[in-house]
A and B are shown apart, each in its own frame.
Chain A
């Protein structure tokens, strides 16, 4: 399905406060999360400054075929503000860690956004009519002089310019001692969970003053702490199942029907360590940075530092498939540890048909792996290579000193400050959203717009 040569046309939308290509950006503009909604019509991004920007896809229009499918800014709002925990003398960052959309149930859209401590439910609604003809107020809103009113009228709804209103509907606060890393909406559309380093809480969407702790891996003696929770997600279809990953590379599938506190897993997915490859960094690079259920619910996709793995829920002993994302970094782990890049948390994504997986890498590269054909491609998200409607050229990273083709990049010239941590794939079409620092790229496969 993925033809690496032709690959993708790019309908690029870049989000940047500075239009010039080489202008510096503020740290607040760094995109920290990207998420399509369930229909793919809306795309939300959160940034380090606590803002959420929602893009909407322009509907297909016969008269302007080329503008079909472009994403334009729909709404922008400040979701979280920086806070200060006076008790611990700690700053609470306003950075949006995750955004998750709720399935649409009426005309309004709902999304959950979270920073390190607080989750908020936002309602995004449109207003395109307003009432006119009040009895007591005139058109500008001033109170009428009662003596001038001679008759009663019924206000009428008149069309107006479209306005997108965003309002916070719920604030779920004070439930997490540690930093929230994941939120996941349950398939029952009534509950959701939030996971921090040591605990996972279950919330009801309507109840903000209480949450239910379902996983707690905090040891009695904090000195014994060696493992933390890194990501968590509900099963897409079974509302009782969820999975969480750990910093030691394990995945635990838990069934909420078994016990109130799901400390005991139903399934433990762990790949035995290869003793010959053991190093001081083995544990760090095995730490799972992201876990995603497949749309079918049958598979799990995990990302650790060097690989992406597909697991079958029915097989706990080892992953079904392992994809090397950037194995050329394996010999550079010490340097990457020194500059802290080894702690980077890359996300991963399935396509709508679960046949292709995608994840980011360094140098603004991102990789896609076709599970069926076993082909993979490396692409770059950069302004230079992403002119509108240009076809992305596959890139290649060659080992230092190895045979180098034209346009190849040597490992040593990779830019480790340009990392693609957040990517998202449209739920039904071949459209992907790539967050490269402060820029958002949206690529579309016009040749194969339907998923195979």
Chain B
């Protein structure tokens, strides 16, 4: 097997993951973030990828428990792991650490797992993998300001909004519970109503919602989204409401209309060319900033700031995807 310091090849990643997972004698298993990442991606793909309708309840529960476990691990680490869910070898160099051992190849491989499975959905780095769009993800993607200083370059971490769901509601299960509910009950009529409030937690998973929209769009168009390849995928967040998704497949339940006609806060885009964020918001980053930051030159207006995606920012992406 590979030892420390030996360059890992893509093919060896899985073996390496297995190696890492094998417990050292008498010690607690050390799971690297890349392992977790890969697992998370895999699990989400199983739950939300193509043909989730074939999943039995037992399998869903087990996969969901794996996801829960990974989330718990992330939370236990205080969210200090800026895991990068997507990487493109073109935009992210191996040296940019993501608070994890230099294993961006693992990240790429994990991404490639995702991209290879999602037909037509992903090109190299255009779109957000499903993993980003889980509502709960913002929690562990948040870099507390203190820990961001440890990042080598200011902002190669693309972090989701740290908009923590206020309640400890099992938000990662929203889609899961919706799938379960679908098994259980007949879907009530309000699925297409944009004004219906979420029947589940107070903080619905808008990220999931948009992901589904993107998936639908991709399936419909079956071509890569018109994003510049160098633009790192932005985790989309949508304002509520989202329909109580009770269809068996989360994807089929959501209609595009809900996204398009939702009241979108465009204050972000009324800014001047300076791209100065509104003062009331947390430090905002525009797409350009992200591009620059991805190449490691620091974000506009600040170093080592965790940047947070605003809903409007992601709506913009949505519009780009849908409109063009």
Q: Which residues of A are at the interface with B, using a C-beta cutoff of 8 A?
A: 87-90, 177-179, 181, 197-198, 221-228, 230, 247, 275-281, 283-284, 287, 331-335, 337-338, 340, 343
Asked whether B180 lies within 8 Å of A88 as measured between CB atoms, the reply is no
Minimum CB distance partner of A198 in chain B: B57
Asked whether A247 lies within 8 Å of B184 as measured between CB atoms, the reply is no
Q: Could you tell me the distance in whole angstroms from the C-beta of A113 to the nearest C-beta in chain B?
A: 19
List chain A residues, Cβ under 8 A from B113.
Answer: 338
Partner of A275 from B28, B58, B65 at Cβ < 8 Å:
B28
Asked whether A222 lies within 8 Å of B29 as measured between CB atoms, the reply is no
Asked whether A277 lies within 8 Å of B177 as measured between CB atoms, the reply is no
Is residue B133 contacting chain A, with contact meaning CB distance below 8 A? no
3 closest Cβ pairs, A-B complex: A223-B177, A222-B180, A223-B173
How many residues in B have their beta carbons less than 8 Å from beta carbons of A?
46
Given A222-B180, A278-B28, A280-B31 in contact, is the A88-B186 Cβ separation under 8 Å? yes
A-B contact list, 17 entries, CB within 8 Å: A90-B53, A221-B177, A223-B169, A223-B170, A223-B200, A225-B180, A228-B57, A247-B62, A276-B23, A279-B29, A281-B66, A283-B62, A284-B66, A335-B18, A338-B42, A338-B113, A343-B58
Minimum CB distance partner of A285 in chain B: B62
User: CA A181 – CA B56 in complex, angstroms?
Assistant: 11
Asked whether B184 lies within 8 Å of A280 as measured between CB atoms, the reply is no
Asked whether B181 lies within 8 Å of A228 as measured between CB atoms, the reply is no
List chain A residues, Cβ under 8 A from B68.
Answer: 226
List chain A residues, Cβ under 8 A from B53.
Answer: 90
Asked whether B186 lies within 8 Å of A332 as measured between CB atoms, the reply is no
Is residue B231 contacting chain A, with contact meaning CB distance below 8 A? no
List chain A residues, Cβ under 8 A from B46.
Answer: 340
Of listed A90, A279, A283, A287, residue having the most chain B CB within 10 A: A279
Given A177-B184, A197-B57, A283-B62 in contact, is the A334-B28 Cβ separation under 8 Å? no
1/0 per residue, CB under 8 A from A, across B155-169: the answer is 000000000000001
User: CA A334 – CA B69 in complex, angstroms?
Assistant: 15
Task: Give chain B interface residues in 17-54, CB to chain A under 8 Å.
Answer: 17-18, 21-23, 25-29, 31, 35-36, 38-39, 42, 46, 53
List chain B residues, Cβ under 8 A from A221.
Answer: 177
User: CA A334 – CA B53 in complex, angstroms?
Assistant: 23
Given A88-B182, A88-B248, A223-B177 in contact, is the A230-B17 Cβ separation under 8 Å? no
Minimum CB distance partner of A87 in chain B: B186
Minimum CB distance partner of B246 in chain A: A88
List chain A residues, Cβ under 8 A from B186.
Answer: 87-88
Partner of B62 from A277, A279, A284, A332 at Cβ < 8 Å:
A284
Partner of A334 from B39, B57, B182 at Cβ < 8 Å:
B39
Minimum CB distance partner of A224 in chain B: B170
Q: Could you tell me the distance in whole angstroms from the C-beta of A332 to the nearest C-beta in chain B?
A: 6
Minimum CB distance partner of A330 in chain B: B22
Of listed A223, A331, A332, A335, residue having the most chain B CB within 10 A: A223
List chain B residues, Cβ under 8 A from A280.
Answer: 21, 31, 35-36, 39, 66, 69-70
Asked whether B29 lies within 8 Å of A334 as measured between CB atoms, the reply is no
Asked whether B21 lies within 8 Å of A333 as measured between CB atoms, the reply is yes
Q: Could you tell me the distance in whole angstroms from the C-beta of B293 to the nearest C-beta in chain A?
A: 31
Is residue B176 contacting chain A, with contact meaning CB distance below 8 A? yes
Asked whether B183 lies within 8 Å of A88 as measured between CB atoms, the reply is yes
User: CA A278 – CA B61 in complex, angstroms?
Assistant: 19
Asked whether B183 lies within 8 Å of A334 as measured between CB atoms, the reply is no
List chain A residues, Cβ under 8 A from B176.
Answer: 223
Chain B contact residues, majority secondary structure: helix
List chain A residues, Cβ under 8 A from B22.
Answer: 331
Q: Could you tell me the distance in whole angstroms from the C-beta of B22 to the nearest C-beta in chain A?
A: 6
User: CA A276 – CA B24 in complex, angstroms?
Assistant: 8
Q: Could you tell me the distance in whole angstroms from the C-beta of A339 to the nearest C-beta in chain B?
A: 10
List chain A residues, Cβ under 8 A from B39.
Answer: 280, 334, 337
List chain A residues, Cβ under 8 A from B18.
Answer: 331-335
Task: Give chain B interface residues in 58-80, CB to chain A under 8 Å.
Answer: 58-59, 61-62, 64-66, 68-70
Asked whether B57 lies within 8 Å of A178 as measured between CB atoms, the reply is yes
Minimum CB distance partner of A89 in chain B: B248
List chain A residues, Cβ under 8 A from B248.
Answer: 88-90
Q: Could you tell me the distance in whole angstroms from the C-beta of B128 to the nearest C-beta in chain A?
A: 21
- A280-B39, A280-B69, A343-B59 are known contacts; what are 10 more A-B pairs with Cβ within 8 Å? A90-B53, A181-B58, A222-B177, A223-B169, A225-B180, A226-B64, A283-B66, A284-B62, A287-B58, A343-B62
Minimum CB distance partner of B173 in chain A: A223
Is residue B14 contacting chain A, with contact meaning CB distance below 8 A? yes
Q: Could you tell me the distance in whole angstroms from the C-beta of A335 to the nearest C-beta in chain B?
A: 6
List chain A residues, Cβ under 8 A from B38.
Answer: 334
Minimum CB distance partner of B25 in chain A: A276
Of listed A221, A222, A338, residue having the most chain B CB within 10 A: A222
Asked whether A222 lies within 8 Å of B61 as measured between CB atoms, the reply is no
Asked whether A334 lies within 8 Å of B61 as measured between CB atoms, the reply is no
User: CA A421 – CA B183 in complex, angstroms?
Assistant: 27
List chain A residues, Cβ under 8 A from B17.
Answer: 334
List chain B residues, Cβ under 8 A from A333.
Answer: 18, 21
List chain B residues, Cβ under 8 A from A178.
Answer: 57, 183
Task: Give chain B interface residues in 63-100, CB to chain A under 8 Å.
Answer: 64-66, 68-70
Q: Could you tell me the distance in whole angstroms from the C-beta of A226 to the nearest C-beta in chain B?
A: 6
Of listed B39, B61, B113, B248, residue having the most chain A CB within 10 A: B61
Task: Give chain B interface residues in 262-287, CB to chain A under 8 Å.
Answer: none
Of listed B26, B29, B113, residue having the most chain A CB within 10 A: B29
Minimum CB distance partner of A278 in chain B: B29
List chain A residues, Cβ under 8 A from B169.
Answer: 223
Asked whether A279 lies within 8 Å of B31 as measured between CB atoms, the reply is yes
Asked whether B61 lies within 8 Å of A276 as measured between CB atoms, the reply is no
List chain B residues, Cβ under 8 A from A275.
Answer: 28
List chain A residues, Cβ under 8 A from B174.
Answer: 223
Partner of A287 from B62, B173, B182 at Cβ < 8 Å:
B62
List chain B residues, Cβ under 8 A from A177.
Answer: 183-184
Minimum CB distance partner of A335 in chain B: B14
List chain B residues, Cβ under 8 A from A89.
Answer: 248
Of listed B35, B39, B176, residue having the most chain A CB within 10 A: B39
